[in-house]
Amino acid sequence: MHQPKWLDTAVFYEIYPQSFNDTNGDGIGDFEGVIEKLDYIKKLGCDALWINPCFESPFMDAGYDVSDYLKTAPRYGTNDDLKRLFDEAHKRGMHVLLDLVPGHTSVEHEWFKQSARAEQNEYTNRYVWTDSVWESPEGMGCIRGISDRDGSCAVNFFSHQPALNYGFYKPDPSKKWQQSMDAEGPRATLEALKDVMRFWLRAGCDGFRVDMAGSLVKNDPDGEGTIALWQNVRAFLDAEFPEAAMISEWGEPDKSLRGGFHMDFLLHFGPSHYNDLFRCEESFFSESGKGDASKFVEKYVENLEKTDGKGLICIPSGNHDMDRLARSIHGENLKIAFAFLLSMPGAPFIYYGDEIGMRYVEGLTSVEGGYGRTGSRSPMQWDDSKNAGFSSDDTLYVKQDEAEDRPTVKAQLADNMSLLNEVKRLIKLRRENKALGNLGGIEFLNAGYPLAYLRSAEGERVLVIINPSDSEREFTCKYEIDRVIYSIGKGTYIAVGNKVTVPPRTVLFCTVK
> Which residues are at the interface with ligand NOJ (CB under 6 A)?
61, 64, 101, 157, 211-212, 320-321
The DSSP-derived string for 236-252 is: HHHHH-TT-EEEE--S-
- Alpha-carbon span 53 to 101, nearest angstrom: 8
Rounded to a whole number of angstroms, the minimum distance from the CB of residue 163 to ligand NOJ is 11
321 binds, among Ca ion, ligand NOJ, none (CB under 5 to 8 A by kind): ligand NOJ
- Alpha-carbon span 431 to 433, nearest angstrom: 6
The DSSP-derived string for 93-154 is: T-EEEEEE--SB--TTSHHHHHHTSSS--TTTTSB-B-SSTT-PPTTS-EE-SSSSSSS-EE
Rounded to a whole number of angstroms, the minimum distance from the CB of residue 352 to Ca ion is 16
Residues interacting with Ca ion, by CB under 5 A?
Answer: 22, 24, 26, 28, 30
Burial of 203 (0-12, 13-18, 19+ CB in 10 A): middle
203 binds, among Ca ion, ligand NOJ, none (CB under 5 to 8 A by kind): none
157 binds, among Ca ion, ligand NOJ, none (CB under 5 to 8 A by kind): ligand NOJ
**Residue 157 or 300: which CB sits closer to ligand NOJ?**
157
Rounded to a whole number of angstroms, the minimum distance from the CB of residue 289 to ligand NOJ is 32
Please state, in angstroms and as integers, the Cα–Cα distance from residue 368 to each residue in 69, 216, 315, following that order.
Answer: 19, 24, 26
Rounded to a whole number of angstroms, the minimum distance from the CB of residue 76 to Ca ion is 7
134: which residues sit within 8 A by CB, 6+ positions away? none
**Residue 6 or 158: which CB sits closer to ligand NOJ?**
158
> How many C-beta atoms lie closer than 10 Å to residue 429's C-beta?
18
Instruction: Name the maximum alpha-carbon separation found in the chain.
Output: 80
Rounded to a whole number of angstroms, the minimum distance from the CB of residue 40 to Ca ion is 18
Rounded to a whole number of angstroms, the minimum distance from the CB of residue 434 to Ca ion is 41
Rounded to a whole number of angstroms, the minimum distance from the CB of residue 324 to Ca ion is 23
Q: Determine the 3-state secondary structure of 493 from DSSP.
A: coil
276 binds, among Ca ion, ligand NOJ, none (CB under 5 to 8 A by kind): none
Rounded to a whole number of angstroms, the minimum distance from the CB of residue 156 to ligand NOJ is 7
**Residue 24 or 180: which CB sits closer to Ca ion?**
24
**Residue 265 or 493: which CB sits closer to ligand NOJ?**
265
Please state, in angstroms and as integers, the Cα–Cα distance from residue 361 to each residue in 187, 212, 326, 327, 353, following that order.
Answer: 44, 26, 10, 9, 12
Rounded to a whole number of angstroms, the minimum distance from the CB of residue 127 to ligand NOJ is 15
| 448 φ, ψ (degrees, to nearest 5) | -100, -150
28 binds, among ligand NOJ, Ca ion, none (CB under 5 to 8 A by kind): Ca ion
355 binds, among Ca ion, ligand NOJ, none (CB under 5 to 8 A by kind): none
Residue 506 near residue 451, CB atoms below 8 Å: no
Rounded to a whole number of angstroms, the minimum distance from the CB of residue 396 to Ca ion is 10
* Residue nearest to ligand NOJ as judged by C-beta position: 64
Tell which residue, 404, 362, 361, 400, has the closest CA to residue 381: 400
Pairing of strands 451-457, 481-488: unpaired
Number of separate helices (H) and strands (E) present in the chain: 12, 20
**Residue 249 or 355: which CB sits closer to ligand NOJ?**
249
Q: Chain centroid to CA 459: how far?
A: 31
**Residue 211 or 276: which CB sits closer to ligand NOJ?**
211
**Residue 13 or 64: which CB sits closer to ligand NOJ?**
64
**Residue 223 or 379: which CB sits closer to Ca ion?**
379
> How many C-beta atoms lie closer than 10 Å to residue 5's C-beta?
9
- Alpha-carbon span 230 to 440, nearest angstrom: 26
Tell which residue, 314, 306, 223, has the closest CA to residue 267: 314
DSSP H or E run through 233? helix 224-240
76 binds, among Ca ion, ligand NOJ, none (CB under 5 to 8 A by kind): none
> How many C-beta atoms lie closer than 10 Å to residue 310's C-beta?
17
Rounded to a whole number of angstroms, the minimum distance from the CB of residue 75 to Ca ion is 6
64 binds, among ligand NOJ, Ca ion, none (CB under 5 to 8 A by kind): ligand NOJ
**Residue 251 or 489: which CB sits closer to ligand NOJ?**
251
**Residue 22 or 276: which CB sits closer to Ca ion?**
22
24 binds, among ligand NOJ, Ca ion, none (CB under 5 to 8 A by kind): Ca ion
377 binds, among ligand NOJ, Ca ion, none (CB under 5 to 8 A by kind): none
**Residue 284 or 351: which CB sits closer to ligand NOJ?**
351
211 binds, among Ca ion, ligand NOJ, none (CB under 5 to 8 A by kind): ligand NOJ
